Amino acid sequence: MLTDFCTTTTTATAAISSTSSSTAVGNSVLIVRRIATVLLFVSFSCFVLYRAGESIGFRIPASFTSRASFFLPTDNVSTAAYSDTEEYMLEKVLKNATMEDKTVIITTLNEAWAAPSSVLDLFLESFRIRDQTRQLLNHLVIIALDEKAFSRCLALHSHCYALVTQGVDLSKEAYFMFPDYLKMMWRTIDYLRVVLEMGYNFVFTDADVMWFRDPFPHFYKDADFQIACDHFSGKPEGVGNRPNGGFNHVRSNNRSIEFYKYWYSSRETYLGLHDQDVLNNIKNDSFIRDIDLKMRFLDTAYFGGFCEPSKNLSEVCTMHANCCFGLESKLHDLRILLQDWRKFLSLPPAQKISSALSWRVPQNCSLDSLRHYAPPPVKKNFLFPLISAFYFGNADEEVKEPRMLKEPL
């Protein structure tokens, strides 16, 4: 009985969520949001009730989204006030890592991705394979989201910044509360706005993006905001592209700052969606034309991923483990990706050009595997797919799964 009730309610919630995206005007939004909030509460009650009966704890895990980028929630996320100390510390790290033209590369990291043999090791390895990209490591700032990620960062890298305010350990707490999790994701966007306000341009990269070539020569010279895509339409200016928030380059100016403020504030309009889905909704807004922001979409020929791989290894700059389900699958395919890259580099120059060598991945990351994949934790939390659909959008490009934060590796 309880099961039926909860399932129905949550379905309605998810449906309303998508309604709010399409009818994002005036009062209807307000009403929809109110209804959504009520239903949400009911859903959570059900979820919590169900959860209480479980012997195995369930947390929103690191691999929950394949773009694990989030910050600690503070009491007032919406006010976005940062302490002087926080800003001072950040600026210190940025200053030390910056290129001559005030550009930094930024990634975020949590415990599961920072663990030995996990995503961080592969990320750094990708840079180190060639001198050209190895040098870029001098400009990489790793923002650690918990203590373990921070200490692992310090052990491996020179530009680490800890976002561990208020003594909350992100790896242990705040995980099963979905709204907090969502806030953390949005904090990324807000924090990047602060970086822009400090006058720094940045490349934001998820740590599951492998860096094979220096991407800078392939960035559009005149763009304020340029972003990689899950699927590239062939038109760099086309709003029909499917952007992926896991890799973007932003130039610091009034337009980009205004845009980040708008993006962040749009989370209110598109309640419950994460940054990438909101971006997908606002990318064609008149506001963006009004502020004259030049937004460009990066070609997957250079900035590819498992959704749409860069076909020519003589041209690829980055490959993102998007369209991937689960940390183990991700690690499996990323390792093969690195092997393929090394194999390509070992070819004699003439053979490189003529080479028909192609990636052997995605394998375990393939979306096909999802249809057959039903790990025990998913079965247990029957509400999970519905709740996650509500909170994180039904993004077909990024499939989520519930997992313990600490992956058994």
Ligand X SMILES: *[C@@H]1O[C@H](CO)[C@@H](O)[C@H](O)[C@H]1NC(C)=O
Least distance in angstroms from the C-beta of 59 to ligand X = 21
Distance CA 357, CA 348 (A): 13
Q: How far is CA 300 from CA 103, 223, 291, in A?
A: 23, 17, 27
- Out of 117, 138, 265, 358, the residue judged to bind ligand X by CB under 6 A: 138
- Of 23, 45, 96, 351, which one interacts with ligand X (CB under 6 A)? 96
- What values do phi and psi take at 374, rounded to 5? -145, 85
For ligand X, the closer CB: 235 or 342: 235
Q: Is residue 81 a contact residue for ligand X (CB under 6 A)?
A: yes
List 28, 132, 135, 314, residue binding ligand X (CB under 6 A): 314
Strand partners, 209: 320
Residue appearing with tokens 């972003």: 227
Nearer to ligand X, 93 or 122 (CB): 93
CB atoms closer than 10 angstroms to residue 245: 24
Asked if omega into 348 is within 30° of 0 (cis), the reply is no
DSSP H helices, 53-177, are: 84-97, 111-114, 119-128, 131-134, 147-156
Residue with tokens 């490009």: 397
Helices first, then strands: H and E counts in the chain = 15, 10
Contact with ligand X (CB under 6 A) among 312, 338, 377, 404: 312
Give the shortest CB-336-to-ligand X separation in angstroms. Answer: 10
Task: Report if residue 76 touches ligand X, rule: CB under 6 A.
Answer: yes
Nearest distance, CB of residue 158 and ligand X, angstroms: 4
364 binds ligand X (CB under 6 A): yes
Query: What single letter denotes the amino acid at residue 43?
Result: S
Helices (H), 347-375: 349-354
Using CA atoms, how far apart are residues 303 and 321, in angstroms rounded to an integer?
Answer: 11
Task: With both helix axes pointing from N to C terminus, report the angle between 254-269 and 178-197 in degrees, rounded to the nearest 10.
Answer: 170
Q: Quickly count: other Cβ atoms within 10 Å of residue 108's Cβ.
A: 27
Q: Are 129 and 33 in contact (CB under 8 A)?
A: no
Q: Which residues pair with 109 in a beta bridge?
A: 144
Write out the binding residues for ligand X, residues 144-203 only, by CB under 6 A.
158
- Using the minimum distance from each CB to ligand X, give the nearer residue, 171 or 329: 329
Among 328, 367, 373, 404, binds ligand X (CB under 6 A): 328
Residue 351 binding ligand X, by CB under 6 A? no
CB nearer to ligand X: pick between 76 and 166:
76
Nearer to ligand X, 7 or 253 (CB): 253
Binding characters for ligand X, 220-239, by CB under 6 A (x = yes): -------------------x
Does 240 bind ligand X (CB under 6 A)? Our answer is: yes
Tokens matching residue 370: 């999802």
CB 316 → ligand X: shortest distance, Å? 9
Piece in contact with ligand X (CB under 6 A), picked from 4-12, 72-80, 102-110, 263-271: 72-80
From CA 321, how far away is CA 397, in angstroms rounded?
A: 11
Of 165, 253, 281, 366, the one binding ligand X by CB under 6 A: 253
Q: Is 23 in the site for ligand X (CB under 6 A)?
A: no
Tokens read off for 30: 């307000």
Burial class (CB in 10 A: 0-12, 13-18, 19+), 310: buried
Are 206 and 309 a contacting pair, CB within 8 Å?
A: no
* Total residues in contact with ligand X, by rule CB under 6 A: 22
**Smallest separation (angstroms) from ligand X to the CB of 12:** 28
Q: Is residue 332 near ligand X by the rule CB under 6 A? A: yes
Interatomic CA distance for residues 154 and 263, integer angstroms:
32
Beta strands in 274-334 (DSSP E): 295-297, 303-305, 318-320
Instruction: Name residues contacting ligand X, limited to 277-296 (CB under 6 A).
Output: 284
Q: How far is the CB of 185 from ligand X (least distance, A)?
A: 20
Tokens 């210190």 sit at which residue? 92
Return the range that interacts with ligand X (CB under 6 A); candidates 121-129, 214-222, 248-256, 388-396.
Answer: 248-256
For ligand X, the closer CB: 9 or 330 = 330
Residue 357 found at the interface with ligand X (CB under 6 A): no
Q: Tell me: does residue 18 bind ligand X (CB under 6 A).
A: no
Q: Does 55 bind ligand X (CB under 6 A)?
A: no
Least distance in angstroms from the C-beta of 337 to ligand X: 14
Residue 329 touches ligand X, criterion: CB under 6 A = yes
In the complex, the residues that contact ligand X under the rule CB under 6 A are: 75-76, 79, 81, 93, 96, 138, 158, 239-240, 252-254, 284, 312, 314-315, 328-329, 332, 353, 364
